Structure 1
Amino acid sequence: MLRVELRVEIVITAYNVQNYISQCIQSALRQSYSNCHLLIIDDGSSDYTPQRIKEATKDVSLDAYTVVHRDNSGLADTRNYALDHLQGNCFTFLDGDDLIPRDYVSSLVSVMEKTSADLVACPFTKITSTYFIPKNNFLGSSNSNKTEVIDNTEFLQRLTTLSLPKGIDVSSHSKLYKNECWGNLRYPSKKNFEDSFVIFNILQSVKHIALTDATHYLYRYRPDSIVNSPFNLTRLQYIEAEKFLYDKVQNVYPNTQLAKQAHIRLDHVYLNTLMHIALTDDSKFSDLERRLRPAALGKRPIYSIFIEKIPIIDRIGRFALWIGLPVFNIASRLFRITRRTRT
């Protein structure tokens, strides 16, 4: 029986990434897997990103890519446009400042074909201009070629586990999807932290998920990204997104260990948000800090601090918060200093 090769759409979304988009496109064009098509979407960039896209594709066959320039609408709406215009059998997201290794698509397709999985996920490696940091390596050492097939409930179990290496990231990148995984599912318009709004419904639409270390997605760490930028009120959407995920888990898996883990994850998000406020050091957020403190501590703060199985950094953070916001704010700044020293 003749084997039909899967056609893979590489969806590249770009907004004001003039310093990175050329390398991103080149990494996608150099894939060893031959049956790829690039859908490159410029989300109304105000820098030289459109020119860089034109330069990076000028000598490439028009059959290999499609470029779309849209008015700025945000990542969620840009990805929704891509989902409405997919070609082929499956696709993968590639952010315009990230990279993928030459064998990225071929490795994920090989795993998908061998396991009959609907979704294949790989770890991502954090990159900067000077060094690589292994991140979220959920099967073992880097590029160990290990593969594991799990169901959607097990994926959620690992997703809501905060301690690596068992954790699996919520991000839409570093995954190969069959088109039918998404169906009519779309991101909520104009939302940041959009991945947490869709991951649960995606998982409900798949039967088999393959995890592999055969390749890594290369995620560029940028201090000016939404995740790493100083706190502003838009970041409260992080809580909204994770609360959405938490409610979904609670509704489908009530009174289970999975529901408990989802609650711990949500508590972590409140704590993380408070830490970002503390690092911003702006008195205008003082009232918000006081309102978020009870949610970050939880209904049983003593239990969560001294008994509950949570990451050590969360335990220290909750203990400092339990003592008081001034202590927590000092602890947050000390944590930032030690983290910078380590890197």
Structure 2
Amino acid sequence: MNDLISIIVPSYNVEDYIDKCVDSICKQDYTNIEIILVDDGATDDTGKKCDEWASRDERVKVIHQENQGLSGARNTGIRASKGKYISFIDSDDMIATDYVSTLYSCIQENGVRMAQGLSKNFYKEDDIDSFVSEDTRRVISGYDMCKTLMSEYKMGWGIVMTKMFDKSLFDDLEFPLGHIHEDEYLVYKLYWNSGKVALTDKIVYYYRSKRKGSITHSGYSLKRLDAVYAREGRCVFFENLGEKELYQLAKLSLCYTQSETLVKLKESDIADKDKYIDDMRQKLKANTKEIWRADYISTKKKLSLWMEIYLPWLKHALKK
């Protein structure tokens, strides 16, 4: 098989990084790709650099649009894509030369609609040369992927950039406009709808850490509440499916997010933050009561949550 694969790159004010990103995509050892650069209303030379890449490599296509945010840029890329499979790369990051071939072969070998590799953070580009990993593969059910996503922290699981998708998975899904933490709104649905996911332990995605001005490393604002809202939506999703275990795990994960958010709200300089704090505190109290009655949540996890909320200093001391 030699299917066309679409690589979607939302691009906004990354003139210092876009060349490295696109270069890493153009150097893929799997060549039947289209590279869709979505200039999301950049105010620097990002758009110009995108056009330069299009003149250099016929596989590169550029879309210029008014700013719609990361979600809007990704949705535009999905609509314009012609590949059977799609992947998303952030414009300040880089990928391994076998990113596409590795994920594509995982899909083909296992007859699945979705594949996932690992990511690793880098501070300097020279760091990448030291990254070592093995291409150990396995297939996990969508149910277990959701379960792991909500109960364990695993690098690269909660983002779309480490993955390749059958485009049909987006027939009824799109990234939420006007929100950050956009991956949080979608990844669990993609796991669930895929039925099965092929995994590899190979590091395929290189995530640039602490870029000045990036959303991930900017100060706390009310937009950050999207992390809470996304996880509230996850609870509703599994509750409506009647998946009791996944619903309870989603609720537990929500409690931790609400607890962490309360701390950040208290430390912030947001105007009228007290009303947000009071609202979050009431929701956390109600959700914690529900967790105490949850039969799929172990006593150990219940006590851990209680300590995280009421005795965080003790919990952190015990970890040491």
| TM-score, length of structure 1 as denominator length | 0.80
Residue of structure 2 equivalent to 1:85: 80
Paired with 1:251 and 1:273, the residues of 2 have a C-alpha distance of: 26
4+ residue stretches of structure 1 with deviation over 6 A? Answer: none
Tell me the equivalent position of 2:150: 160
User: Contact conserved, 1:296 with 1:318, CA < 8 A, in 2?
Assistant: no
Give matches, 1:197-236, under 5 Å: 197-222=185-210, 224-236=213-225
Among 284, 299, 310, the alignment partner of 1:319 is 310
* Structure 1: stretches of 5+ with no match in the other structure: 134-140, 322-330, 336-343
Residue type of the partner of 2:228?
A: I
Give yes or no for the alignment of 1:146 onto 2:136: yes
Task: State the alpha-carbon separation in 1 of the partners of residues 71 and 235 from structure 2.
Answer: 20
Deviation at 1:184, TM superposition (A): 3.3
Identify which of 265, 283, 291 aligns with 2:253.
265
> Which residue identity lines up with residue 74 of structure 1 in the other structure?
G
What do the CA deviations read for 1:37-90 (whole angstroms, capped 9, x no partner)? 1011010011221123234444x232x110111000111111111111111211
Equivalence for 2:95: 100
Q: Does structure 1 conserve the Cα–Cα contact (< 8 Å) formed by 2:291 and 2:302?
A: no
Deviates more, 1:47-56 or 1:36-45: 47-56
**Number of equivalent positions:** 306
Deviation, 1:209, is: 0.8
Shift of the alpha carbon at 1:315? 5.9
Q: Which of these residues, 185, 189, 195, is aligned with residue 173 of structure 2? A: 185
1:183-207 Cα deviation digits (max 9, x unpaired): 2322222222222222343234323
Q: Using structure 2 for the length normalisation, give the TM-score.
A: 0.85
- Partner Cα separation in structure 1 for residue 248 and residue 26 of structure 2: 43
Cα 1:123–1:18 shift into 2, 3 Å: same
Kindly indicate whether the alpha-carbon contact (under 8 Å) linking 1:147 and 1:211 is maintained by their aligned counterparts in 2: yes
Q: CA deviation at 1:242?
A: 1.3
Distance 1:301 1:83, change over 3 A: closer
- Aligned pair partner of 2:57 in 61, 64, 75: 61
- The answer for the alignment partner of 1:309 in structure 2 is 301
Higher mean displacement: 190-199 or 175-184: 190-199
Change in CA separation of 1:204 and 1:300 when aligned onto 2, cut-off 3 Å: closer
Quote the Cα distance in structure 2 between the aligned partners of 1:128 and 1:68. 29
- Aligned residue identity for 1:211: L
1:240 Cα deviation (Å)?
1.3
* Rounded Cα–Cα distance in structure 2 between residues aligned with 1:294 and 1:160: 22
**1:98-137 superposed matches below 5 A:** 98-129=93-124
Distance 1:243 1:180, change over 3 A: same
SS of residue in 2 equivalent to 1:5: coil
State the secondary structure of the residue aligned to 2:81: coil
Q: Distance in 2 between the 1:164 and 1:102 partners?
A: 26
Following the alignment from structure 1 to structure 2, what is the Cα–Cα distance between the partners of residues 95 and 205? 24
Shift in Å, 1:282: 5.1
Q: Is residue 174 from structure 1 mapped to residue 162 from structure 2 by the alignment?
A: yes
Secondary structure (helix, strand or coil) at the match of 1:186 reads: coil
SS at match of 1:299: helix
Q: Which amino acid aligns with 1:291?
A: D
> What amino acid does structure 1 have at the position aligned with 2:143?
T
Q: 1:283 to 1:316 in 2, by over 3 A?
A: farther
Question: Which residue type is aligned with residue 79 of structure 2?
Answer: D
| Deviation of the 1:257 alpha carbon | 2.5
Which blocks of at least 5 consecutive residues in structure 2 are unaligned? none
Q: What residue identity is the alignment partner of 1:126?
A: N
